[in-house]
Amino acid sequence: MFGTWFYHKRVRMAVSVFGSLFNNLYVLRQNSAGETISQVKVPLSYAPARSFIQRLEEMRDGEEQERRVAMKLPRMSFEITSMQYDPTRQLPKSNNFSSSVANDSTKKNIFYSAVPYDITFDVNIYAKSQDDALQLVEQILPYFNPQYTISVKPFYEDHPEIKEDVPIVLQSVDFSDDYEGSVGDRRTIIYTLSFAMKISFYGPNDTSNVIREVNNNLYILSGDSDREDFQYRMQLTPTPSNVGLDSDYGFNYSYLDSAL
Partner 1 sequence: MATNPWVSQQVRGEQNLYEDLVIESLKFYGQDIYYLPREIVNKDKVFLDDVPSRFSDSYKIEMYVENVDGFEGEGDLFSKFGVELRDQATFVVARRRWKNLIGDKLDAYNFRPREGDLIYIPFSQSIFEIFKVETETPFYQLNQLPTFRLQCELFEYNDEDFDTDVEGIDDVEEEGAYQYKLTMNTPAESTATITGGITFEGELNNLTVTNPGRGYSTAPTITVSDNPGSNSKFGNASLNASRGRGIETNYLLNGNNGTIEMWVNVDQLPSSGSQQALFLTGGTEDDLTNQYMWGINSTGQLVYSRGDNQGGGVVSPTGNSILFQQGTWHHLLIGVEGSRLFIYFDQIIEHDATYAGVTFNWFTSEGFSTGADAARELDGIQWDGLEGFIDEFRARVGSRSTLMDNRYIDSGVNTSLFEQDAEWDSDVSTAYLNHFNAIDADLTAEITNGQLSGIITNNPGLYYDIPPTITVTAPYSGGTYKRNTIVEQDFGTYTMKGEVAKWDSESTTLYLAHVGATDGQYHTFNTSLPVVSDDATWAPSLVEELEYIQEVEDGVAQNQYFDDFESDFLDFSENNPFGDMS
**Rounded least distance, CB 204 to partner 1, Å:** 21
Are the C-beta atoms of 199 and 12 separated by less than 8 Å?
no
Q: State which of residues 11, 19, 99, 175 lies at the interface with partner 1 (CB under 8 A).
A: 19
Distance between CA atoms of residues 94 and 113, nearest Å:
7
Are the C-beta atoms of 218 and 18 separated by less than 8 Å?
no
- Judged by CB under 8 A, does residue 124 bind partner 1? yes
Q: If you count them, how many residues does the chain have? A: 260
Applying the rule CB under 8 A, the residues between 62 and 101 that interact with partner 1 are 64-65, 67-75, 77, 79
- Judged by CB under 8 A, does residue 126 bind partner 1? yes
In this structure, the strands spanning 104-112 and 115-127 are unpaired
Q: State which of residues 7, 88, 103, 183 lies at the interface with partner 1 (CB under 8 A).
A: 183
Rg (CA), the chain: 30
For the window 200-239, what string marks contact with partner 1 as x by the rule CB under 8 A? ----------------------------------------
- Judged by CB under 8 A, does residue 145 bind partner 1? no
Residue 201 three-state SS? strand
**Rounded least distance, CB 208 to partner 1, Å:** 27
Applying the rule CB under 8 A, the residues between 32 and 51 that interact with partner 1 are 32, 34-41, 43-49, 51
Q: Which is nearer to partner 1, 131 or 228 (CB)?
A: 131
Question: Under 8 Å CB-to-CB from 99, ≥6 apart: which residues?
Answer: 108, 109, 111, 159, 161, 162, 245
